[in-house]
Structure 1
């Protein structure tokens, strides 16, 4: 399937070495971590040229400061519950010799637009493609998880190199490549590879898109790449289009006359994992005007339940969304006969994103969904309220076979 990019007119196939981590832990639920958000004053003391009003509207993990002679990004939540903050300066090459600044005031100083870079999560790929920056990408860990066809063409032609895995990035190869920047993600502040690269003069830019708690918050990180690539206006335009599309579908869903009840998740080693009430996944269900049965639960991550608890509360749910890795009813029954006791199972109202894969087996949802939450919401609204969005063709989710 092909997605026509709304803003750049670039075709994008049907959004983590991150996926590798998620397939091990998040495969059985959509895990959203707690985000500690805080804004930070720019360390720069340059002349004011533009105010910061509404430069970042939905994301809480970063902000963009354009009050000085060059853009500054503050990453305030690089990983869950982070106490460390990062400040990055992005100085246009044609103005570098004309600007006076204190380099030690920033965690990294980047000359833009960059010529080449390394990224470490498949969620970074759609932003690069949308902004016409895939040709800057020279390396990626676990390239088999990338589903974008344009990116795979670059991989096949040898222009994007395999760099091992994010947890053990091939340091020697990265040092030899000497990229202008490495866009990394981390689950905490313990990453010896990043420390080695940074000490060698390669800037490390932490991207915390995966810690955002809202669909549009995740998508807004395209503006991070807009600054990095020197395409801020394009990034802003693309995000505005996505946000407008999402909000329009959300308002349309509110016109539905009924809010169907919804169950999610499945068992893994006798524990039923499903999204907590304030998670990213639960927000999608709320915006699709569905009655998620655990919407009132606390937390932004996942809940761990027994089969008995899930059955007691979710047995009569009208729909069952994202049943872990399962893609067929036979798979469910073979795993546990008790799955057949749920009404959604009996009525064949199960839908999964696990069956929609890229050419090398990567789950497309993990790569593209964070940047295109409007497509996710359209899928869910079509599933729950087909009369409201009758002509939509399911993109990520498919009925179980």
Structure 2
């Protein structure tokens, strides 16, 4: 294994020298059965409850095929195994152990963390200060994970010198296709995380199973996913509360930036027993998840919301209702402000894909527990 890794890194260093000397999101496709093209038969397939944008198939001899809805396929070869002959040319080969990953898809970091697999990641697309996942931040501060540039400006020399075996990108890479092409050109496979295309919130969480298969920790991944699914199952018999919720933040230019109707955040509100205050906000054909509204336009609908969830992941957390009102005096007239039903999400929400079931439970408690002393939940706190 050490010899193989030395050879791989030496090859990458050579490519660095050669390079220095010379040098909109796709619609998810229908996943095809796990066929390799060489006649091998699938032994078993991973059971998925909500995720629709990947599949995992197992073959005799501990070979695993990952299929992604963008059409990409990755065959994981066991450490002492050989690449099977006659497989389809488009299948990318990954040989265990899969190490020195360049992780750019921020939503996946918490999944690796939950799997106790941060040691598989060597390079990050975020700097240490931008991680709210404490273990990831500490790993970067200790030098165990290095910053290698964001999705559209990677440090190719650094990535290659560390012998990256895989780059995991978010769908943002579709806006910089030349980066994907360059990574592939220098021999680094690119897996684009499609979890943002999942129609069900827990479909995003279920991507932990794909990464569990990648690092050989499927049992742990299934257990962690079932823990989150249990929160939703506990609400299965609950009736809709009839309560309305506005989810937004005020931008530096004074716009109210609300979630688009049908977005996974609004679906979490619905699964928790609430109703998003906007019924048909935004263009469903566009990939953007938020809609900026002039304050008067926002006020016309959102002022009657029973609850406000303020998105503090943009612009920083708030400490009081007066601080919120300071962003726009019109907010003082909002029903939720007058009734003290304003909650603020903490900064770690969008980096905690593993906990979406718990977040749904938080929203349900907010909607149903008529307790003035309830001021803190797992991902939200009440503004006073």
Tell whether the structures are fold-level matches, with TM greater than 0.5: yes
8 Å contact 2:231–2:361 — kept in the other structure? no
Q: Cα–Cα, structure 1 residues 75 and 68, in superposed 2: closer, same or farther, change >3 Å?
A: farther
3-state SS of the aligned residue for 1:55? coil
For 1:311-360, what per-residue CA distance to the aligned partner results, in whole angstroms no more than 9, with x for missing partners?
Answer: 2222222111125546232333322211111111122211111xx3xxxx
3-state SS of the aligned residue for 2:56? strand
The separation in 2 between residues aligned to 1:192 and 1:121, in whole angstroms, is 17
Q: Cα–Cα, structure 1 residues 272 and 147, in superposed 2: closer, same or farther, change >3 Å?
A: closer
3-state SS of the aligned residue for 1:165? coil
Structure ranking higher on relative contact order (CA contacts 8 Å, 6+ apart): 1
The separation in 2 between residues aligned to 1:306 and 1:208, in whole angstroms, is 32
Superposed displacement of residue 100, structure 1? 2.9
Matched, 1:338 2:321: no
* More moved, 305-314 vs 159-168: 305-314
The separation in 2 between residues aligned to 1:180 and 1:123, in whole angstroms, is 20
Superposed displacement of residue 39, structure 1? 1.5
Q: Cα–Cα, structure 1 residues 182 and 245, in superposed 2: closer, same or farther, change >3 Å?
A: same
Superposed displacement of residue 91, structure 1? 1.4
8 Å contact 2:303–2:331 — kept in the other structure? no
RMSD between aligned alpha carbons? Answer: 2.8
The separation in 2 between residues aligned to 1:199 and 1:186, in whole angstroms, is 19
The separation in 2 between residues aligned to 1:345 and 1:399, in whole angstroms, is 11
Structure 2 residue aligned with 1:169:
154
1:344-383 to 2 correspondence within 5 Å?
344-353=336-345, 356=346, 363-368=347-352, 370-383=353-366
* More moved, 288-297 vs 177-186: 288-297
The separation in 2 between residues aligned to 1:318 and 1:41, in whole angstroms, is 46
The counterpart of 1:138, out of the listed 98, 113, 122, is 122
Q: Which runs of 5+ in 2 are unaligned?
A: 1-24
3-state SS of the aligned residue for 1:374? helix
8 Å contact 1:379–1:392 — kept in the other structure? no
- TM-score, length-scaled by structure 1: 0.78
Matched, 1:58 2:44: no
The separation in 1 between residues aligned to 2:130 and 2:351, in whole angstroms, is 9
* More moved, 290-299 vs 310-319: 290-299
1:268-347 to 2 correspondence within 5 Å?
268=251, 269=253, 271-295=255-279, 299=284, 301-323=289-311, 325=315, 327=318, 328-347=320-339
1:2-401 to 2 correspondence within 5 Å?
36-44=28-36, 45-52=38-45, 55-66=47-58, 70-77=63-70, 85-96=71-82, 99-102=84-87, 104-106=89-91, 108-143=92-127, 144-187=129-172, 188=174, 190-248=176-234, 250-251=235-236, 254=238, 258-268=241-251, 269=253, 271-295=255-279, 299=284, 301-323=289-311, 325=315, 327=318, 328-353=320-345, 356=346, 363-368=347-352, 370-386=353-369, 394-401=377-384
Q: Cα–Cα, structure 1 residues 150 and 312, in superposed 2: closer, same or farther, change >3 Å?
A: closer
3-state SS of the aligned residue for 2:258? strand
Equivalences, count? 346
Structure 2 residue aligned with 1:7:
none
For 1:356-386, what per-residue CA distance to the aligned partner results, in whole angstroms no more than 9, with x for missing partners?
Answer: 3xxxxxx211111x22112211211111111
Q: Cα–Cα, structure 1 residues 95 and 387, in superposed 2: closer, same or farther, change >3 Å?
A: farther
3-state SS of the aligned residue for 1:372? helix
The separation in 1 between residues aligned to 2:374 and 2:333, in whole angstroms, is 32
Q: Cα–Cα, structure 1 residues 75 and 400, in superposed 2: closer, same or farther, change >3 Å?
A: same
Q: Which runs of 5+ in 1 are unaligned?
A: 1-32, 78-84, 357-362
Q: Cα–Cα, structure 1 residues 148 and 307, in superposed 2: closer, same or farther, change >3 Å?
A: closer
For 1:263-302, what per-residue CA distance to the aligned partner results, in whole angstroms no more than 9, with x for missing partners?
Answer: 2214433543322321101111101111222245573733
3-state SS of the aligned residue for 2:73? strand
For 1:65-123, what per-residue CA distance to the aligned partner results, in whole angstroms no more than 9, with x for missing partners?
Answer: 3367622222114xxxxxxx2111111123326x33436231x2101231331211332
Q: Cα–Cα, structure 1 residues 166 and 337, in superposed 2: closer, same or farther, change >3 Å?
A: same
The separation in 1 between residues aligned to 2:257 and 2:137, in whole angstroms, is 33
